[in-house]
Amino acid sequence: MPKGLTLRELSKKEVLLSSGHRMCAGCGAPTVVKMVLLASDYPIIAANATGCLEVSTCISDYTAWKIPWIHNAFENAAATISGVETMYRSLKKQGKIDKEIKFIAFGGDGGTYDIGLQSLSGAMERGHDMLYICYDNGAYMNTGIQRSSATPFGADTTTRPAGSVVQGKTEQRKNLTKIMAAHNIPYAAQASPSHWMDLMRKVRKALEINGPKFMNIIAPCNRGWRSRTDDAILLSRLAVETCYWPLYEIENGITKITFKPKEKKPVVDFLKPQGRFKHLFKPDNEGILNRLQAEIDREWGRLQKEETCYAS
């Protein structure tokens, strides 16, 4: 186990997102944030796009964040943190600051896949030394569970409801991790809070790499997924074990799968606990389930082909 990532060592560190915030009970996002901040041995300055995480962790004069934290508009978290990072480099050159500080932007999938994609792409292309973390809950949860381009195929949302004509979202989800890797950045990865060691190791690796980095982390939302309030980790694990959410990293263009299920589970194991997919289990919708499984199998096969293995 890497130094500093044992449970004993982590238990001695301060949790930098305090309890008492107003995120929903059982939400995956604050768990993700706590893991990310615990993984770092550096001081962190964070930017946070408008969304569930932002509106629920800082209300008026009260904040759950124990680090310097900036609230951004929905679309510009990456632009904001890239500006702060640029200022930091200037101050270091002027000899006005000598502390090693790391910069992280947090955004949900709405503010990352869609509304914030332009500023994120620009920050990645310019090469800022920053880590962007998307907590992916698969819809615009803060504003009413509207579909986003991260919403899974077949999911029921308020703007793409399952009814007599259309059975949920008709498009496959966007592969944003691959899109970010296509910017030729030094590091891009997918992670899950169910595999906390893998997640925290990737955060640590990313913070040691100079230049722009991106991590996509699944963050179950029981309100939008219509699931139990105590199953965020269970659903995260099922997402990984069904290969709906494979764990991998792309470092300097080289793909490495960081977790391979001993037995790949069918995607229905991930779908059944979620009310947003209940309509898919009607007899007439078997074809949608088959199409979703086929897409996951295709992407998993492609990822395995892209992986480059190293001799130990």
Q: What is the CATH number of the domain that holds 181?
A: 3.40.50.970
Token pair recorded at residue 124: 């990645």
Predicted confidence pLDDT, tens digits, the chain (312 residues): 667 788 899 999 999 999 989 999 999 999 999 999 999 999 999 999 999 999 999 988 899 999 999 999 999 999 999 999 999 999 999 999 999 999 999 999 999 999 999 999 999 999 999 999 999 999 999 999 999 999 999 999 999 999 989 999 999 999 999 999 999 999 999 999 999 999 999 999 999 999 999 999 999 999 999 999 999 999 999 999 999 999 999 999 999 999 999 999 999 999 999 999 999 999 999 999 999 999 999 999 999 999 975 434
Residue 231 covered by a domain: yes
Residue 312 covered by a domain: no
Distances (CA, A) of 29 to 21, 23, 57, 106, 214: 12, 8, 11, 10, 17
Residue 109 covered by a domain: yes
Residue 203 covered by a domain: yes
Of 108, 132, 106, nearest to 120 by C-alpha is: 132
pTM: 0.96
* Domains identified in the chain, total number: 1
Q: Cα angle at 192 between 240 and 34, to 5 degrees?
A: 160
Residue 1 covered by a domain: no
Residue 186 covered by a domain: yes
Backbone torsions φ then ψ of 15, nearest 5 degrees: -80, 120
Look up the domain containing 72 and give its range.
11-306
**Distance (Å, rounded) from C-alpha 183 to C-alpha 124?**
7
Residue 5 covered by a domain: no
Residue 311 covered by a domain: no
